[in-house]
A and B are shown apart, each in its own frame.
Chain A
Amino acid sequence: MLIVKKRLRTAPCYAGRRRIKRKKKRSSLLKKLLSFRSRVLRYSRLINRRIESLVNTVNLLAAQVNTITAPTQGARALLQGRMGSVVSIETNAGSISGTIVEVGVDYVQILEPTGDIVLIPLRSITTVE
């Protein structure tokens, strides 16, 4: 009987200690969650800023590429419209006659009647007939 009483006395104290421990766990967990959330927000802001700067860089590079390729874009479109037709192309080194086979980024490929293939850079073309 004495032993039982003793156990009953100790039980509430032990239960109280448990409750205190549970309260501590909840507050520390909440703090951790809040700090994690703030870190995630900070990193996402940093990443967004980085993405914006990269987008600006890409736009600048695209504009530079357009200024470089702009003089030949018209010639490229003209030759692509005449794909498969017989043309005579004048350059500073001579005249080439044949069928347009392929138009690349900066060149045109001509198939001559003899079977020879001629690669002409678009910047070398003076006239197209």
Chain B
Amino acid sequence: MNLSEALGRYIGRSIEAFLTNQFVQGRLLSVGDGFFTIQVTNPTYNNPIAQSTVLIQNVEFIRILAA
């Protein structure tokens, strides 16, 4: 099983994705081949983006918050 398949088990859960110089938090919406999409929970004024697609190759690690 690879990382995409393992992450697919947690669709709908709240996750934190740590990139090299960035942090994205939200609800996992979908997982594709090499990327996943998050419903961002705390969009900022500068980045009022509701959904963010993150490339797995840029991810340092992903934390799935306990329900």
Number of A residues with CB within 8 Å of any CB on chain B = 21
Interface size class of chain B, counting residues whose CB lies under 8 Å from the partner chain: 10 to 19
Does chain B have a CB within 8 A of A117? yes
**Taking chain B's interface residues, is the majority helix, strand, or loop, or is none over half, making it mixed?**
mixed
Which of B3, B19, B62 touches A106 (beta carbons < 8 Å)? B3
With contacts A93-B18, A94-B18 taken as known, whether A118 is within 8 angstroms of B61 at the C-beta atoms is yes
B1, A119: Cβ atoms closer than 8 Å: no
Does chain A have a CB within 8 A of B54? no
Cα distance, A85 to B53, chains bound together (Å): 33
Q: Which residues of A contact B (CB under 8 A)?
A: 91-94, 96, 102, 104-107, 109, 112, 114-121, 124
Q: Which residues of B contact A (CB under 8 A)?
A: 1-3, 5-7, 10, 18-20, 56, 59-66
